Amino acid sequence: MFTRVCKEDTIAVGGMRVVIADAHVIILAWPDNGVIKAFQGVCPHTNMPLAEADFDGTVLTCPSHAWTWDMNTGAPIHPQESPLAEYPVKIEDGVVYIDTDGVSPLYASP
Ligand code: FES
């Protein structure tokens, strides 16, 4: 079921923000050459929140140990190890909705 999380105009192209949907911490990112995407908002490395992560319009960098991901896909760049879980996103009448059903954050193997 899709849950309303924010208005579309609270995020800009090349920007990101953290939202909460159904108690999931989620990063909403709008890559420079893409569409709004939603990924787990906690780092697969240590479960640390990614609210303070750096986003350059394509790549998200965790502030703790600089793991990086492509925000078009959630695929890991460095290390090539742990992708971010992606949530379905829907935008209707300028409002962003996310579906958390069946999606759980992914974690690096210990
Ligand atoms: S906690 Fe994110 S890279 Fe280590």
**For residue 51, what is the domain's CATH number?**
2.102.10.10
Nearest to 19 by CA among 103, 100, 110, 107: 100
The answer as to whether 104 is a domain residue is no
Does a structural domain hold residue 8?
yes
Nearest CA among 102, 28, 100 for reference residue 71: 28
> For position 25, what pLDDT does the model report?
97
- Look up the pTM and report it: 0.96
Low-confidence ranges of the chain (pLDDT < 70): none
In the reported structure, the alpha carbon of residue 62 is separated from the centroid of ligand 1 by a whole-number distance in angstroms of 6
- Residue 102 located in a structural domain: no
The position carrying tokens 């409002």 is 95
Residue 108 lies in a domain: no
Count of the separate structural domains present in the chain: 1
- Residues 10-35 have pLDDT tens digits of 999 999 999 999 999 999 999 999 99
| 109 part of a folded domain | no
Domain boundaries, position 82: 2-97
Q: What spacing in Å lies between the alpha carbon of 68 and ligand 1's midpoint?
A: 9
CA of 29 to the centre of ligand 1 (A): 18
Q: What SS3 state is found at 24? A: strand
pLDDT of residue 110: 74
The whole-number pLDDT of residue 109 equals 83
Ligand 1 atom at minimal distance to the Cα of residue 48: 1
Closest Cα to residue 108, out of 84, 72, 74, 77? Answer: 84
Residue 79 placed within a domain: yes
